[in-house]
Amino acid sequence: MKAITLRGIDPETSEKLKQEAQKQGKSTNKLILEMIRKELGLEKKEKYSRKYSDLDGLFGRWSEDEFREITARIEQERRIDPELWS
């Protein structure tokens, strides 16, 4: 891949780019590449962009308390009993 250097970026623009990249959880480089691709019409479309919700009613959500309880139980089960391995 080619590397391109951008010169003359003012501090305000640079800071805005850094803030936006951090907000989106991306590197500044990745953010700028995505912006360029989008502007040039080269943005990749999601291959599987259709979203389904027909099974949503079958699933629920754990509350924070339930999540902590389940996580604690899993951690307890993962502990190795030294007596069994001696």
Q: Given this model, what pLDDT does residue 21 score?
A: 95
Residues in CB range of 40: below 8 A, 6 or more apart: none
Residue located via tokens 């590449």: 33
Q: Using pLDDT thresholds of 50, 70 and 90, give the confidence band for residue 56.
A: confident
Amino acid at site 62: W
> Could you state, in order of their start, the residue ranges of all structural domains in the chain?
56-85
Who has greater pLDDT, 54 or 79?
79
Could you read off the pLDDT of 13-38 as tens digits, one per residue?
Answer: 999 999 999 999 999 999 999 999 99
Backbone φ and ψ of 39, nearest 5°: -65, -35
| pTM of the complete model beyond 0.85 | no
Distance CA 71, CA 68 (A): 5
| Tokens describing residue 34 | 């995505």
